[in-house]
Amino acid sequence: MRVGQRILLVGGLPIAIAALIALAGWLLLAEAERARAGAVLAGTIYRTLTVATTVRDEYLGARPEERADHAERFARLTTDAAGRLADLRHFARTADQLARIAAAQRALSESVDRMQGLVRITRENDGLIAEMADRAAALVALADQARDRQRAANTDLVASLTEKARRLRQVRDVVAAVNDLRAAVAEAEIGASREATGGGAGVPLAANLVRVRNAARTVAAALRDDGRRDEAEEVLILAAAYEGSRAGAEPGILAAAGAPATLPAPVNVLGEWSERILKLDGTAQRSLHDEVAQLLAYAVQANETEQATQNIALATLKLAQRTADALSRRDPAAARAMLEEGEALSGTAAALPISPLIQGEMIDAIDGWRERLETTIGRLRRQNADIVEMDRLAATIGETARGLNELFITDADRYGESIRRLLLIGATAGLVLGSAAALAVARSITGPLRGLQRDMLALAADPSRQHLGAVERRDELGDMARATRVFVDEIGRRERALRRAKEEADRTLAELRQTQADLIQAEKLASLGQLVAGVAHEINTPLGIALTTATLVRDEARDFRPLAAGNQLSRSRLLAYVDRVQEGAHLLAANLSRAADLVHSFKQVAVDRVSDERRRIPMREWLDELLRSLGPLLRQGGHRLDLVAPETFEADTYPGALAQVITNLVKNAVVHAFAEGRPGRIAVALSREGAWVRLEVRDDGRGIAPADRERIFDPFFTTARHRGSSGLGMHIVYNLVTGRLQGRIAVESREGEGTTIRVEFPVEPAPEGASRRALPAGAAEEHSA
């Protein structure tokens, strides 16, 4: 048993027991509280849902335009109930309660869905009912239109009938008058024939003739009334002719009896005329009579039709109202009966001779109404089914909520009882156990602590001593002993590792130095090679001239010899020969001496390069020679190299190192400063500044990027590794200037405008070894060599 555990056992046991009791009590209290809150919530849900059902009933009973409020209220209530049900889940304790809540939630969500369906159907039904009312109204409007038209038509019809009746009366008057005339003429003829046969006392002829005349006048008047003036004149003339023939020419008839009549007798003419009028007017009378009868029949029929139209419209309107009532009572069976009535009505409208202008529309209106009603009834049935289902769901939810309420209350009571019991038992047990444990633990800690103290003191006196007595222990004391041992071991191991690492680093450094020196030497040799190539080239020119000249002199001599031998030599020819030889000798001498000079100077340069001894040199001449040896380097790119040295002076310095510096700087400019194919200019400026020589190598190339400027003196830094640069040239320069020459070096460069490298060194450098201290302030930072 570890120390901590023991202490924990002693101090913690009573605390833990107390805490456990408090926790259990608190939990039980919370549970009881929760159960009680759950009961309250369940009760609220039950009440909310009861209200929701009432609201739904109000919704169904409300007027269409007021329904929205009720639907909204229902939605609010059910959302509220759903929220509370979700809350109730947190209060649930048993699977049974959870299952009941889930069932209630399902039922509620279904109930909400049904309500949405109900709202949709109700809205559609309201729309349909309104549309049906519109259609019925349209029908009434159509019937009204028909009635208005009929009224206007009636006026026309009356006028038309009056006119026809007038014509009929006139024609009838004419026919009657003509018949009278014929009767009068017949009477007169009978009277006349009686008189002629001596048949005795009849009406006297004159009276008969007067009657004929009067009858003719009546006919003429009737004809004039009918607007037939010509025929009126005709009848009067014909009647007068007849009267004349009868009254004045009585014998004429007798005379004519035996002879063939050349002209028709006036009585026959009058008779024929009457026949014709009777034929035409008789048929006209019949025709007019027919027309009047037909018009009357039409008038009656039209009014009956109009009445029937009105009746249909009214019947439809009533039917629509009764249907709307049935629909608002939610009675599909009654509405179904209306549908059948509508069908009968449609049939009637189709069969009646309703005005063709509106018949089609009326039938369409009724049929459309019936179609809508059919749909509406179907929906009503679904709506009723939905309502029944919603009631069932509401009952289910209510029952569930009430059940939950009771469950939660029972739970709450049980928790209260549990808390009391727990407090009593827990307090007693905690007190007894705590006291016993405290005593036992205190003893088991103090002994081992003392042992460990001893061992630690011994180890401090001799770290190599590896033994610690308490290592084997399994408690905190053992831990301490083991940790101490590990600590001591670790210190020893680190000391050894440090020593090895240092030796390794020293060796590596030495190797690095050797490698760098090797590389620098290789670079120097390479530059010497270039020098030799340059020298060979420079010497080649004077030697070539000398050789050519020598060849010419030899040829001249060969040509001259036969002349001299054959005594053909003229004075002028001799003189010319001498001139030429003299000229050739002069050329030979000049060129060979130039070659010798070159060799001398290059020898000096080469010696300088390798010998590296200190010597006094005339700076301008020396520099001139050096630069000349660099000629081949420049020629390749077509660059120019100028020396700017206004004064001549001597310096006691290391020409080898200086040559190496200048060669490298020029080479560097040639390699890096200029773009491919663009010749540039390099100037070497020499001047003396008191005890210092200043040497500037300037180019007008592209300059050095600022990022590269600080690194150009770093070994192996180059931007032209692909062209074979080693990256050591400038490093060597730096080392030589700051080392052997005891000088300083600075770079000025601006991108696109060229680079100037300034080297300054003492005219008389201090003897080797004492030079470092003489460096002027502001010189470039030192690099360890």
Partner 1 sequence: MIRLLPTLLLGAVLAAGPAAARTLVFCSEGNPESLNPQLVTTTTGMDATWPLYNTLVEFAPGSTTIRPALAESWTISEDGRDYVFRLREGVPFHRSARFRPTRTLTAEDVVFSIERQWKADHPFHPVSGGTYSYFNDLGLPNLLAAVEAVDPRTVRLRLREPDATFLANLAVALGGILSAEYAASVRAAGEPGRLDREPIGTGPFSFAGFQPDVALRYRAFPDYWGGRQPVDTLVFSITPNAAVRLAKLRAGECHLMPFPNPADLAGIAADPGLTLLREEELNIGYLSLNTTRPPFDDVRVRRAVTLAIDKEAIVASVYGAGGTPARTPIPPNLWAYDPAIRDEPLDRAAAVRLLAEAGHPEGFEAELWYPPISRAYNPDGRRIAELIQADLARIGIRLRLTTQEWSAYRASMLAGLPQMALFGWTADNADPDNFLGVLLGCVAARPGGSNIARWCDPAFDALVTEARGITDQERRAALYARALRRFKAEAPWVPIAHSATFVAARREVTGYRMDPLGRHLFRDVSLRDPP
**772 close to 739: Cβ distance less than 8 angstroms:** no
Residue whose CB is less far from partner 1, 312 or 728 = 312
Under the binding rule (CB under 8 A), the answer on residue 357 touching partner 1 is yes
Out of 156, 230, 495, 676, name the contact with partner 1 by CB under 8 A: 156
Under the binding rule (CB under 8 A), the answer on residue 283 touching partner 1 is yes
Out of 108, 138, 407, 520, name the contact with partner 1 by CB under 8 A: 138
User: Which stretch, 81-89, 112-120, 275-283, 590-598, contacts partner 1 (CB under 8 A)?
Assistant: 275-283
Residue with tokens 């014929």: 182
Residue whose CB is less far from partner 1, 290 or 489 = 290
| Measured distance CA(478)–CA(484) in Å, rounded | 10
**733 close to 664: Cβ distance less than 8 angstroms:** yes
Least distance (Å) between residue 53 CB and partner 1? 42
Cβ atoms within 10 Å, residue 19: 13
Cβ atoms within 10 Å, residue 428: 10
Question: Which alpha helices (DSSP H) does 612-630 contain, by range?
Answer: 619-629
Nearest partner of 311 among 299, 300, 303, judged by Cα? 303
Least distance (Å) between residue 299 CB and partner 1? 8
Under the binding rule (CB under 8 A), the answer on residue 717 touching partner 1 is no
Least distance (Å) between residue 280 CB and partner 1? 5
Residue whose CB is less far from partner 1, 138 or 215 = 138
Counting Cα atoms < 13 Å in the Cβ hemisphere of 252 gives 15
Residue whose CB is less far from partner 1, 288 or 412 = 288
Under the binding rule (CB under 8 A), the answer on residue 291 touching partner 1 is yes
Residue with tokens 């300059």: 703
Residue with tokens 């003191």: 457
Out of 353, 378, 631, 776, name the contact with partner 1 by CB under 8 A: 353
Out of 103, 269, 295, 763, name the contact with partner 1 by CB under 8 A: 295
Least distance (Å) between residue 78 CB and partner 1? 40
Applying the rule CB under 8 A, the residues between 543 and 582 that interact with partner 1 are none
Instruction: State the virtual CA torsion across 629, 630, 632, 633 in degrees, nearest 10.
Output: 160
User: Which stretch, 47-55, 149-157, 483-491, 716-724, contacts partner 1 (CB under 8 A)?
Assistant: 149-157
Residue whose CB is less far from partner 1, 138 or 627 = 138
Least distance (Å) between residue 157 CB and partner 1? 5
Least distance (Å) between residue 150 CB and partner 1? 7
User: Which stretch, 253-261, 360-368, 635-643, 744-752, contacts partner 1 (CB under 8 A)?
Assistant: 360-368
Residue whose CB is less far from partner 1, 113 or 290 = 290
Structure tokens at 242: 């007849």
Residue whose CB is less far from partner 1, 231 or 455 = 231
β-strand 681-689 against 692-699: which pairing, if any? antiparallel
Applying the rule CB under 8 A, the residues between 160 and 219 that interact with partner 1 are 160, 164
Residue whose CB is less far from partner 1, 121 or 295 = 295
Structure tokens at 617: 């040199």
Nearest partner of 26 among 38, 18, 36, judged by Cα? 18
User: Which stretch, 212-220, 287-295, 499-507, 767-775, contacts partner 1 (CB under 8 A)?
Assistant: 287-295
Exposure pattern of 41-73 as b/e (b: 16+ CB <10 Å)?
bbbbbbebbeebbebbeebeeeeeeebeebbeb
Least distance (Å) between residue 384 CB and partner 1? 32
Least distance (Å) between residue 341 CB and partner 1? 23
Distances (CA, A) of 518 to 309, 509, 512, 515, 625: 130, 14, 10, 5, 29
| Measured distance CA(528)–CA(179) in Å, rounded | 170
Residue whose CB is less far from partner 1, 309 or 755 = 309
Under the binding rule (CB under 8 A), the answer on residue 225 touching partner 1 is no
User: Which stretch, 258-266, 282-290, 484-492, 565-573, contacts partner 1 (CB under 8 A)?
Assistant: 282-290
Least distance (Å) between residue 167 CB and partner 1? 8
User: Which stretch, 352-360, 622-630, 733-741, 771-779, contacts partner 1 (CB under 8 A)?
Assistant: 352-360
Q: What is the DSSP string of 249-285?
A: -HHHHHHHHHSPPSS--HHHHHHHHHHHHHHHHHHHH
User: Which stretch, 112-120, 357-365, 454-462, 762-770, contacts partner 1 (CB under 8 A)?
Assistant: 357-365
Q: How far is CA 479 from the centre of its chain?
A: 65
Residue whose CB is less far from partner 1, 161 or 221 = 161
User: Which stretch, 187-195, 261-269, 271-279, 429-437, contacts partner 1 (CB under 8 A)?
Assistant: 271-279
> Distance from first CA to last CA of the chain, Å, rounded?
67
Least distance (Å) between residue 138 CB and partner 1? 6
Residue whose CB is less far from partner 1, 146 or 737 = 146
| Measured distance CA(3)–CA(452) in Å, rounded | 14
| Measured distance CA(102)–CA(240) in Å, rounded | 123
User: Which residues are paired to 747 by β-bridges?
Assistant: 757
β-strand 640-644 against 681-689: which pairing, if any? parallel
Least distance (Å) between residue 346 CB and partner 1? 13
Number of amino acids touching partner 1 (CB under 8 A): 35
Tell me which amino acid residue 141 is: A
Least distance (Å) between residue 171 CB and partner 1? 11
Under the binding rule (CB under 8 A), the answer on residue 157 touching partner 1 is yes
Residue whose CB is less far from partner 1, 284 or 327 = 284
Out of 89, 229, 276, 421, name the contact with partner 1 by CB under 8 A: 276
User: Which stretch, 237-245, 348-356, 610-618, 673-681, contacts partner 1 (CB under 8 A)?
Assistant: 348-356
> Exposed, middle or buried by CB within 10 Å (0-12, 13-18, 19+), for 718?
buried
Counting Cα atoms < 13 Å in the Cβ hemisphere of 184 gives 25
3-state secondary structure of 40: helix
Under the binding rule (CB under 8 A), the answer on residue 367 touching partner 1 is no
Residue whose CB is less far from partner 1, 300 or 432 = 300
Residue with tokens 């025929």: 231
| Measured distance CA(175)–CA(181) in Å, rounded | 10
Residue whose CB is less far from partner 1, 227 or 706 = 227
Under the binding rule (CB under 8 A), the answer on residue 307 touching partner 1 is no
User: Which stretch, 35-43, 273-281, 313-321, 392-400, contacts partner 1 (CB under 8 A)?
Assistant: 273-281
Out of 152, 207, 247, 533, name the contact with partner 1 by CB under 8 A: 152
User: Which stretch, 145-153, 191-199, 482-490, 724-732, contacts partner 1 (CB under 8 A)?
Assistant: 145-153
Nearest partner of 637 among 671, 664, 592, judged by Cα? 671
Out of 287, 508, 515, 582, name the contact with partner 1 by CB under 8 A: 287
Nearest partner of 682 among 631, 727, 643, 733, judged by Cα? 643
Sequence-ordered list of residues with C-beta below 8 angstroms from that of 574, at least 6 positions apart, any chain? none
Cβ atoms within 10 Å, residue 421: 10
**671 close to 722: Cβ distance less than 8 angstroms:** no
Under the binding rule (CB under 8 A), the answer on residue 282 touching partner 1 is yes
Binding mask 581-610 for partner 1 (x = CB under 8 A): ------------------------------
Tell me which amino acid residue 242 is: Y
Sign, CA torsion 144/146/152/157: negative
Q: Residues interacting with partner 1, by CB under 8 A?
A: 138, 141, 149-150, 152-153, 156-157, 160, 164, 275-276, 279-280, 282-284, 286-287, 290-291, 294-295, 298, 302, 351, 353, 355-361, 364
